[in-house]
Chain A
Amino acid sequence: METSAHNFNLPKLIIIFSFLPVFLSATYALIVYRRLEKKLKLFSIFLFVSGIMQLISGIMWWNKVNNMPLLHLYVAGGFICILLFYREIFRDVLHHNVLLVIGAIFLLFTLYNAFPLELLFRFNSKVLTAESVLIIIFSLSTFMLLLNAESNEVLITERKTLNWINSGFFIYYSSSLLIFYFSDVMARVFPVYLNQNTWILHSFFSIIMYSCFIIALWKRPKSLIS
């Protein structure tokens, strides 16, 4: 995450450009927030958290300050928001405590991986891998749920929006899973330029994910707006 700033080249521009969809989606979510129903409100909170974290981490990166502790915080906070969003989707088909238990275990795992405090300044590969695995499971299950003809009418009305959000999560986390999992090995084995290219690829997936989120909010069911 921490790279030398003030020296612009194409890879850096791509990384900086990857911030744009995050801010755009957060701003759009802020504009329409009051008109969104519960599921999308929970999802918007995730976008706000992402926007704020990206802004702070960008400022820290610009000032050449290690922003890794922020990543630990972002992963925990972001995952809880995503979890609450999926909990709302699975409300009628899964016991409500199942996802809460998963969330609690994940938070404990995050804390365990952040201590001793020196680890806060290192890349949290294991936590990100666990997060990716869980979100891939949730997104695939949501796709299957949305394909099921017996799903409740509300989910079917919101199918388009949920499909875009789900696609965003699935594309980003399934592509980044390898990067997160092998990040330690890559840092040791791969040359610097290859590592940088990997993170450019990661930025590209992030751009795709947030673009999907913007489309999802745009295509939200207008008739359900309260």
Chain B
Amino acid sequence: MEKTEELNFLSALWPFIGIIFLIVLGVLLLNQQFNKKLYAQKLEKEKLKAQHQFELLQSSIAVQEEERKRIARDLHDELGAALSMTRMHLMQIEQQNAKQDTELATRLQSVRSMTEKALASMRRISHELMPPQLESFGLLQTLETIATDLNRLDQLHIEIVAPGNFNRLPMPIELGLYRVCMELINNTIRHAQADYISIRLQQQHGRLLLDYRDNGKGLPESFTKKGIGQRSIETRMHSLGASFEMKNHKDGGMHMSVEIKTEASYI
């Protein structure tokens, strides 16, 4: 009788091991599910964070460009008008006193010349801040104008290559690429000791491809240490959602390729 009860107890004990196993399995399955969901939520959060940072960057660049535009307009309309008026008055006084007092006329001529220089500098700064032809004629024509101006100096030859049917792009892209090209041209002139720059533009299936090359001494080996210009290029590229690569070309010189989705929406 005692043995039968012991057997009863043992036969009840075995399924209990199954119950423990069930508990462990249940906990593991639930936790696997939790981890999966938590990981998905984390990814979603990171995505939102990146999107927020991207929007912040775009908005900060948009504000910066708006401010540049305002300063360029104010310089041109207010300071430019004031300097033009000064120059006109100086010319009038110069004409009135030219015969009576030659020394005064020479001094007036000198002041007028300084005023003209200030006016020219003001125009240059204003155009650099916001080139008026970019808004009216687009990136390609603006780059061609700059190339023509620089080619006249006979120290550097800039070649702009683009298909005949090259279309206008959204303004943030045109402005961003213009700033990047200007930064690159500036770097080539200041550091690369190059005499040739080639800028190629292509449009393919809603994407813009830009290829910049010079025949200078290329990027320094310690390129990992980024300067302000380099950081500015990277920031602008990120704000446009562009992918880009900057490296030394195998035939010498620096090479940068940029690819931008032109159908994306911008601020």
**Which residues of A come within 8 Å of B, CB atoms?**
90, 92-94, 129, 133-134, 136-138, 140-141, 144-145, 148, 150-152, 177-178, 181-182, 184-185, 188-189
A188 to B1 CA separation, bound complex (whole angstroms)? 12
Which stretch, B24-32, B206-214, B216-224, B242-250, touches the partner chain A? B24-32
Contact yes or no, A151 B19, CB < 8 A: no
Contact yes or no, A148 B34, CB < 8 A: yes
Known contacts A137-B27, A144-B27, A181-B16: A94-B8 contact under CB 8 Å: no
Q: Name A92's contact: one of B23, B31, B37 (CB within 8 Å).
A: B37
Q: Number of B residues whose C-beta is below 8 Å from A? A: 20
Known: A133-B26, A184-B12. 5 other contacts (CB 8 A): A94-B37, A136-B23, A145-B34, A152-B41, A185-B9
Chain B residue, CB-CB nearest to A189? B5
CB-defined A-B contacts under 8 Å, sample of 7 = A92-B37, A93-B34, A133-B22, A144-B34, A145-B34, A189-B5, A189-B8
Q: List CB contacts (< 8 Å) of B1-46 with chain A.
A: 5, 8-9, 12, 16, 19, 22-23, 26-27, 30-31, 33-35, 37-39, 41-42
Contacts of A140 on B, CB cut-off 8 Å?
A: 23, 27
Contact yes or no, B5 A188, CB < 8 A: yes
Contacts of B30 on A, CB cut-off 8 Å?
A: 90, 94, 137-138, 141
What is the predominant secondary structure among interface residues of chain B facing chain A?
Answer: helix
A92 to B38 CA separation, bound complex (whole angstroms)? 8
Interchain nearest-CB distance for B6 vs A (Å): 8
A145 to B32 CA separation, bound complex (whole angstroms)? 11
Q: Name A137's contact: one of B5, B12, B26, B41 (CB within 8 Å).
A: B26
A188 to B4 CA separation, bound complex (whole angstroms)? 11
A181 to B13 CA separation, bound complex (whole angstroms)? 9
Chain A residue, CB-CB nearest to B2? A189
Most B C-beta atoms less than 10 A away, residue of A93, A129, A133, A136: A93
Contacts of B27 on A, CB cut-off 8 Å?
A: 137, 140-141, 144
Contacts of B42 on A, CB cut-off 8 Å?
A: 150
Contact yes or no, B31 A144, CB < 8 A: yes
Contacts of B5 on A, CB cut-off 8 Å?
A: 188-189
Contacts of A134 on B, CB cut-off 8 Å?
A: 26
Known contacts A133-B22, A136-B23: A185-B12 contact under CB 8 Å: yes
Contact yes or no, B33 A181, CB < 8 A: no
Interchain nearest-CB distance for A155 vs B (Å): 11
Contacts of A182 on B, CB cut-off 8 Å?
A: 9, 12
Most A C-beta atoms less than 10 A away, residue of B22, B35, B38, B41: B38
Known contacts A94-B33, A133-B22: A148-B38 contact under CB 8 Å: yes
Interchain nearest-CB distance for A152 vs B (Å): 8
Chain B residue, CB-CB nearest to A184? B12
